[in-house]
Structure 1
Amino acid sequence: MIIKIVVAGENQFTRLYQPDADEMLVGVDGGINYIIQMGLTADLGIGDFDSCNIEEVVMACSKVKVFPKEKEKSDLELAILEVKDLHHEKIVIYNGTGGRLDHFIAILNVLIKYSEANIEVVDEHNLMRIISQPTKLVKRDYKYFSLFALEEGTIISLQGFKYPLTNYHLAIHDNLCLSNELVEDGFLEVNNKKILVIESK
């Protein structure tokens, strides 16, 4: 199952959404409005819904969980906590880029904190995820492939890239792996350290 989470950022969901046979659609706070616009039914609506018509939310969702506006976790993090233990292939977050930078940093924090849940953040030009294990990489419709270390002591090797590497110490704040390119299906080897991976068009 692919869990698709729609947040209330700059709308790209309505242009990017493609239905999958086995999916769970989650509307987070104002993100539910984009699901409503497309005439879809969300499996779950979650948030404080302070910017929504709650009657429309209830009609558009199979299940609704309402939280107070003042709380210690963001609506997105509450959604991740709700679904991360369900059997799934991956979690895809839509509308997470663009708009407020503080919201983007909060989404990045969620991506890192719950990396074991296999979360991707997608927009029209980028796909962002965390990798911490040796991973086969499939060449897709992205030109650039950038990697940033999130932990000290990160050692990586890259195969199938325009600029391959062998046992390279990728330090935090090291930009050597900015705008590399996959020339064929490749392989990323990493020593159990978290790496932020961004594929860009």
Structure 2
Amino acid sequence: MSTVALVGASDFNAAHFAAHWKEGAFDAVIAVDGGFASLAAVDCAPDLAMGDFDSLGYVPEGMSVKAFSPEKDASDMELALEEALARGADAVEVYGALGGRLDHTVANLQLLASFAERGLAVAAVGERERIAFLVGPGELRLPALPSGIVSVFSLTDVSAGVVEEGLKYGLDGVALTNRTSWGLSNEMVDEPARIAVESGTLAVFMPL
């Protein structure tokens, strides 16, 4: 399984990234515009830097670069996700896609859901949480933790057959919509948890 890390310009848990990178968890690391500076801060030289570089303020030199005009229909993150697919990635871990400008965060959540629906295993890593995207029919298993918040939201109009097991509040085959807060702030209870969905796309927020 090939895993690519994309690193954007927003804040993320740099220690989490550095630990996984040093363990060899990523087959490639791609800096997305201002993410180049974030990688430099942890002494990581990416395999590729790409974007319009309006956030970074300059085009990196002495390495592989794909530069784009700021006047384009796709965001830098969307272009980076397409690049990961072109490289044969099965999974993508996205850092620096949450926080900062709210419109960028919403765009990134929509993008990641879209690429999950295309068969890519995608997750976004923030400062304190990880967001996995679960497309039905499918399931996600979480390791036992003594505490922690898990929230599950539908990113499609309806996600049917949603199951939550091993959490404080269980769900058994319910339908979630993208017009409700139902799914917010469930709790880990020190046992393995399972989240499943028959149809639709879920965003699963979990402790990092």
TM-score range, shorter chain: 0.7 to 0.9
Distance 1:13 1:157 in 2: 29
Distance in 1 between residues matched to 2:40 and 2:154, nearest whole Å: 38
CA deviation string 1:43-84 (max 9, x = no partner): 111111233432xx222x3x2111111111001100000112
User: What residue ranges of structure 2 are gaps of 5+ in the alignment?
Assistant: none
Taking structure 1 as the reference length, what is the TM-score of the superposition?
Answer: 0.87
> Cα distance, 1:140 vs. partner?
5.6
SS in 2 for 1:170: strand
2:22 matched to 1:16?
no
More divergent stretch after superposition (100-109 vs 1-10): 1-10
1:30-109 alignment, distance < 5 Å? 30-50=34-54, 51-54=56-59, 57-59=60-62, 61=63, 63-109=64-110
Q: Is the 8 A contact 1:14 1:38 kept in 2?
A: yes
Partners of 1:13 and 1:144 in 2: CA distance: 17
Q: Give the counterpart of 2:143 among 121, 135, 139.
A: 139
Kindly provide the CA deviation profile for residues 82-138 of structure 1, in whole angstroms up to 9, marking residues without a partner as x: 112444452111122221111111111111111121111111211112112332412
RMSD: 2.1
Percent identity over the alignment is: 26
**Counterpart amino acid of 1:176?**
W
Q: 1:169 aligns with which of 164, 167, 175?
A: 175
Distance change in 2, residues 1:122/1:153 (3 Å) = closer
Which runs of 5 or more structure 1 residues have no equivalent in the other structure?
none
Cα distance, 1:175 vs structure 2? 2.2
User: In structure 1, how many angstroms separate the alpha carbons of the residues matched to 2:90 and 2:180?
Assistant: 31
Match of 1:121 in 2: 124
Matched residue, 2:197: 190
CA 123–140 in structure 1, closer or farther in 2 if over 3 Å, else same? farther
Q: 1:97 to 1:46 in 2, by over 3 A?
A: same
Residue 181 (structure 1) aligns with: 187
For the residue of structure 2 that corresponds to 1:154, the secondary structure is: strand
Q: 1:28 maps to which residue?
A: 32
- CA distance, structure 2, for counterparts of residue 161 and residue 13 of structure 1: 25
Pair 1:130 & 2:133 matched: yes
2:15, 2:97 → 1: CA distance? Answer: 14
Structure 1 residues 153 and 64, CA, compared in 2 at 3 Å: closer, same or farther?
closer
The CA distance in 2 between the partners of 1:186 and 1:38, in whole Å, is 33
Q: Counterpart of 1:91 in structure 2: which amino acid? A: V
